[in-house]
Amino acid sequence: MTIATLTTALLVRFAEIVGEAHALTRAEDQAGYLREWRDLYVGRTPVVLRPGSTEEVSKILALANEHEIGIVPQAGNTGLVGGQIPAMRGDEIVLSVSRLNNVRSVDADGGTMIVEAGMTLSEAQAVAEKAGRLFPLSLASEGSAQIGGILATNAGGTAVLSYGNARSFCLGLEAVLADGRVWHGLRTLKKDNTGYDLRDLLIGSEGTLGVITAAALKMLPRPKEIATAIVAIESPEAALKLFRIAEETAGASLTAFEFWARRAMDFAVAHMPGTRDPLAIVHPWYALLEISSNDSGGRADAQLHALLMNASDAGLIRDGALAASMQQARDFWGLRESFSEAQKGAGGSIKHDISVPIARIPEFLERAAAVVEKVCPGARPVPFGHFGDGNLHYNVSQPEGMEKAQYLGLWGAMSDAIHTLVTSMDGSISAEHGIGQMKRDHLVRYKSPVEIEMMRAIKNAFDPKGILNPSKVLERRRPET
Amino acid sequence: MTIATLTTALLVRFAEIVGEAHALTRAEDQAGYLREWRDLYVGRTPVVLRPGSTEEVSKILALANEHEIGIVPQAGNTGLVGGQIPAMRGDEIVLSVSRLNNVRSVDADGGTMIVEAGMTLSEAQAVAEKAGRLFPLSLASEGSAQIGGILATNAGGTAVLSYGNARSFCLGLEAVLADGRVWHGLRTLKKDNTGYDLRDLLIGSEGTLGVITAAALKMLPRPKEIATAIVAIESPEAALKLFRIAEETAGASLTAFEFWARRAMDFAVAHMPGTRDPLAIVHPWYALLEISSNDSGGRADAQLHALLMNASDAGLIRDGALAASMQQARDFWGLRESFSEAQKGAGGSIKHDISVPIARIPEFLERAAAVVEKVCPGARPVPFGHFGDGNLHYNVSQPEGMEKAQYLGLWGAMSDAIHTLVTSMDGSISAEHGIGQMKRDHLVRYKSPVEIEMMRAIKNAFDPKGILNPSKVLERRRPET
């Protein structure tokens, strides 16, 4: 089956909805919407539409649905699995929500805010801060990532450990359905058991069930003090023990437990200007711990310090540095957040975003290294990530001296092998980043048929003509009639 | 449309699946399954089936689906909106999950457990405790309520404030769909973005989209110390201020903030043996605060004490009692948990389970009192509940001396008026208890048509023949073909 072609007459009607200035047809205007930041996915579109209101989004979808035109919703274009990029075929319209960036309301006392989908995560954090509150989601891309995309992908980041991912912070949604009807589900209530959880169905659906236009978000009290440390560890097993002690001691105050291999640090120090190793000598593994406290008076520092002393006495850490200032804490985080970018300096990188039960992380690292060596001898694993969530970005840099393009040609083989291992360990092949285009075919291989059928039944119920982000998450297919 | 009649031949086939001993047809065996504990709902069934495995549940549903026999899933039979009781018509089979009560696995270090749907909440708490962990959901009915029902209704309780409701604790599900297929969605991963959130769709769906047979649940570190206090307050406005200070001071350590009117205390002291007022003189309003800490050394007590001193200095509380022992803390909670039962001593009670934005609680209490007086002069509101979640059980006791049956005849009129008020204040007509039978007709009145249509589309996708818990949540209706 083919999605209908966008005729000139229809193009004019779409442009009339948003106004000429916001219907982009020239190549130079479209460029930024058609390519994702690592150049892994490139697409084409007859027009990029930039609606300025929910009503305009509604009219666009009603028209698209009537004429069976594919719509690719796009927010900040920071997605990592190509979900926001249209197909090269060029028959899908890109619908950018970036102009929907108002704050609709803030209830500082009640700890909730309602913002539109095009607001960046940084802006949302600032709104919360201005209200004396905290919006704790934190991503490296937060200056560009927008709330609509963050919710559509159920983004995670570095603060999930104690605070949770995007799903944990969303109380309600306003979204436009495939046929243009608007679901007014903005609710700021903490407790509401009146029907099916439509909100959580849309969150993480990657634009395939509806276009999120606004969200009611939860804000938390701001911690009074935050203590941060980087420690050196012998092994992943030691990291696991350290994590358990940290969790037991600090409970919900433990707001981050990140982890990485020596090689990640080497690449960062070598390729990212201004980045330095905070410890004196080389160690095989590292962790970054953060404790946040509602108390003033040095409690967070004292608690983290005591934790590290206990861990040291127990032989779990070899060395450590407790941030003595906010700048030093920022440097620690800057180092951690540089690892992905730093890998570029070492050539091609085959990336995985996986999770396994936390207790099995050491086992995974050992078995994955063997898998990598088998697929490509000399390839260099650079594991780093959110240890406390069981989520590692298991990125594999090419062997030194190998031709980059040749190495990247092994992506399919290596991913298959790693994903097979992860699935055999009851893990997830996409812990944070979603499915998009990248993992669509993997999904049918690693999910049960029953689950795929349930998803398809929902997709057919919400979008019978299959116009919302076709070919993302699930194969594009007309439902049986 | 009619659900098919259960013929004797079919009855025999159902009985064969579970074995004669677990296919209950005699009135005295069925009685406990057909009536809910407040006698508000009574039903009839040709047979109560008690399967002993997921496979048996699967066979039951496959057979029911083939012959279009209605199935009413039932767990602990503690639901408060009649969702677990079959219709008086008597053509629906009750499927009890109570025999599915195994612990499948416990990962103490990873903080997860997999248990079956028939396990009681108390048992689940005990499993966690034995593993040195905490399963924080806490309901008055926890000795009887079972995990399947708790998840099907997204139960809340007194520990939602910091810990969250049932949804927050469920990492994955095993469930049987309407046609008998089993969805193997048991996952213990914290982060997994591989497809639609089927888990959250089933949670809170009250048995209308599938029958939950097992769940992967999260366990938390056990707090080392818990401090509890009951305080006397001037007004709901003062309670709101106190709540904000408590939240600001204690953050996630504030694990409960309950609230009630004087009258709730009066009824409890009058009608519940062994219950006493912890304070010396009468006050108009009260709150119960709880702080939980990962630290030992008296930190929780010190923090709660400091909070109360600050609140007292600010004129927000008139008096207070900090529990000096675990027994005293248990007494405080016993008092709070007795309010619902205590109302029986005062005659008929018309009950509401509502939530409004926390900041509007004082306004709600004032306006609701006026509404009650208008519908039934002399009726006595007994508000109590989870102030910190915005959720109040706004229960209204009859005027003294009025005939109970006559008073209960006003239930519809009073509920309509209270629900209209709540909806006008952007609140929920069912904060915790769900929809079941009780609020099914209210749902269509208070939800947008778009939302009802979305729910129906999902229902039709999952259960095209409409056999799962017919007439619960949504009107029973065959989909348009």
Kindly state the tokens that stand for A229: 């440390």
User: Does a structural domain hold residue B90?
Assistant: no
A57, containing H or E segment: helix A54-67
Which chain B residues are Cβ-neighbours of A357 within 8 angstroms?
107, 110, 112, 188-189
Residue % of chain B over a pLDDT of 90: 84
- What CA–CA distance (Å, rounded) separates B285 from B268? 14
| Interchain pair A451, B221: CB under 8 A | no
Kindly state the tokens that stand for B46: 């040709």
pLDDT at B40: 86
Which chain A residues are Cβ-neighbours of B456 within 8 angstroms?
none
Quick one: CA torsion of A59, A63, A66, A67, rounded to 10 degrees? -160
- What CA–CA distance (Å, rounded) separates B481 from B476? 15
What CATH number is given to the structural domain containing B142? 3.30.465.10
Which residues span the domain enclosing B129? 103-221
For residues A122 and A210, state if they share a domain: yes
Provide the chain B residues 331-350 that lie in CB contact (below 8 A) with chain A: none
For residues A182 and A269, state if they share a domain: no
Kindly state the tokens that stand for B17: 């699946």
* Residue B184 DSSP SS3: strand
* Residue B381 DSSP SS3: strand
| Interchain pair B109, A244: CB under 8 A | yes
pLDDT for B1 beyond 70:
no
User: Does a structural domain hold residue A92?
Assistant: no
How close is the nearest chain A Cα to the Cα of B420, in Å?
15
User: Does a structural domain hold residue B144?
Assistant: yes
Which chain B residues are Cβ-neighbours of A169 within 8 angstroms?
none
Domain boundary among A319, A340, A361: A340
| Interchain pair B251, A220: CB under 8 A | yes
Cβ within 8 Å of residue B430, ≥6 positions away? A192, A193, A194, B81, B353, B354, B439
pLDDT at B233: 97
B107 touching A (Cβ < 8 Å): yes
For residues B296 and B334, state if they share a domain: yes
- What CA–CA distance (Å, rounded) separates B272 from B253? 31
User: B429-458: per-residue pLDDT in tens?
Assistant: 999 999 999 999 888 888 999 999 999 999
A85 touching B (Cβ < 8 Å): no
| Interchain pair A109, B427: CB under 8 A | no
Domain boundary among A340, A360, A380: A340
Highest mean pLDDT among B266-280, B339-353, B371-385: B371-385
User: Does a structural domain hold residue B1?
Assistant: no
> Counting beta carbons within 10 angstroms of the beta carbon of residue A377, is it exposed (0 to 12), middle (13 to 18) or buried (19 or more)?
exposed
User: Does a structural domain hold residue B86?
Assistant: no
Contact A22, A37 (CB under 8 A): no
Q: Pick from B194, B203, B422 the residue to mutate for testing the A interface (most A CBs within 10 Å).
A: B194
pLDDT at A481: 43
User: Does a structural domain hold residue A182?
Assistant: yes
Question: How many Cα atoms within 13 Å fall on the side-chain side of residue A332?
Answer: 27
CA separation, residue A133 to residues A187, A217, B20, B252 (Å): 19, 12, 60, 14
Which chain A residues are Cβ-neighbours of B190 within 8 angstroms?
160, 355, 358, 389-391
Instruction: Please name the member of A193, A220, A447 whose beta carbon is closest to the beta carbon of B195.
Output: A447
Instruction: Please name the member of A168, A198, A428 whose beta carbon is closest to the beta carbon of B194.
Output: A428
- For residues B190 and A242, the model is more confident at A242
pLDDT at B480: 47
A154 touching B (Cβ < 8 Å): yes
A·B CB contacts under 8 A: 252
For residues A429 and A412, state if they share a domain: yes
| Interchain pair A154, B451: CB under 8 A | no
- CA-wise closest residue to B202 among B471, B469, B429, B475: B469
For residues A231 and A294, state if they share a domain: yes
For residues A184 and A250, state if they share a domain: no
How close is the nearest chain A Cα to the Cα of B202, in Å?
8
Kindly state the tokens that stand for B78: 């503690």
User: Does a structural domain hold residue B67?
Assistant: no
| Interchain pair A223, B187: CB under 8 A | no
Judged by average pLDDT, the poorest of A303-312, B243-252, B349-358 is B243-252
* ipTM, interface predicted TM-score of the complex: 0.92
For residues B329 and B376, state if they share a domain: no
pLDDT for B125 beyond 50:
yes
pLDDT means over runs of 10, chain A (481 residues): 70 97 97 90 96 98 97 96 95 97 93 96 97 91 95 91 91 97 94 95 98 96 93 96 90 92 96 91 96 86 93 94 94 93 93 93 98 97 94 96 95 95 94 93 89 96 96 75 43
pLDDT at A480: 47
pLDDT at B139: 87
Dihedral sign (CA A432, A434, A437, A442): positive
A400 touching B (Cβ < 8 Å): no
* Whole-prediction pTM: 0.93
Instruction: Please name the member of B192, B195, B389 whose beta carbon is closest to the beta carbon of A455.
Output: B195
- Cα A319 from chain centroid? 31
For residues B170 and B215, state if they share a domain: yes
- What CA–CA distance (Å, rounded) separates B308 from B279? 15
CA separation, residue A172 to residues B199, B348, B453 (Å): 18, 36, 18
B62 touching A (Cβ < 8 Å): no
Instruction: Please name the member of A193, A201, A432 whose beta carbon is closest to the beta carbon of B197.
Output: A201
B479 touching A (Cβ < 8 Å): no
- What CA–CA distance (Å, rounded) separates A136 from A217? 11
Domain boundary among B425, B442, B459: B442
Provide the chain A residues 179-238 that lie in CB contact (below 8 A) with chain B: 181-185, 187-198, 200-201, 203-205, 209, 220-221, 223
pLDDT for B478 beyond 60:
no
Neighbouring-strand partners of residue A373: none
For residues A393 and A314, state if they share a domain: no
- Beta strand A225-233 with A285-293 is antiparallel
Residue in chain B closest to A429 (alpha carbons) equals B194
Average pLDDT over residues B241-259: 91
- What CA–CA distance (Å, rounded) separates B86 from B31? 12
Which chain B residues are Cβ-neighbours of A209 within 8 angstroms?
196
Q: Domain total for chain B? A: 3
pLDDT at A478: 52
B108 touching A (Cβ < 8 Å): no
- What CA–CA distance (Å, rounded) separates B150 from B142? 10
- Cα A190 from chain centroid? 24
Which chain A residues are Cβ-neighbours of B433 within 8 angstroms?
193
Task: Report DSSP state, residue A129.
Answer: H
For residues A233 and A187, state if they share a domain: no
- What CA–CA distance (Å, rounded) separates B411 from B375? 10
What CATH number is given to the structural domain containing A231? 3.30.70.2190
Instruction: Please name the member of B188, B195, B240 whose beta carbon is closest to the beta carbon of A451.
Output: B195
Number of H helices, E strands in chain A: 18, 19
For residues B244 and B186, state if they share a domain: no
Average pLDDT over residues B245-266: 92
pLDDT at B162: 84
How close is the nearest chain B Cα to the Cα of A251, in Å?
6
Contact B174, B182 (CB under 8 A): yes
| Interchain pair B189, A386: CB under 8 A | no
For residues A214 and A119, state if they share a domain: yes
Residue in chain B closest to A300 (alpha carbons) equals B295
User: Does a structural domain hold residue B305?
Assistant: yes
Cβ within 8 Å of residue A103, ≥6 positions away? A113, A114, A115, A116, A119, A127
Cβ within 8 Å of residue B305, ≥6 positions away? B227, B322
What CATH number is given to the structural domain containing A370? 3.30.70.2740
pLDDT for B15 beyond 80:
yes
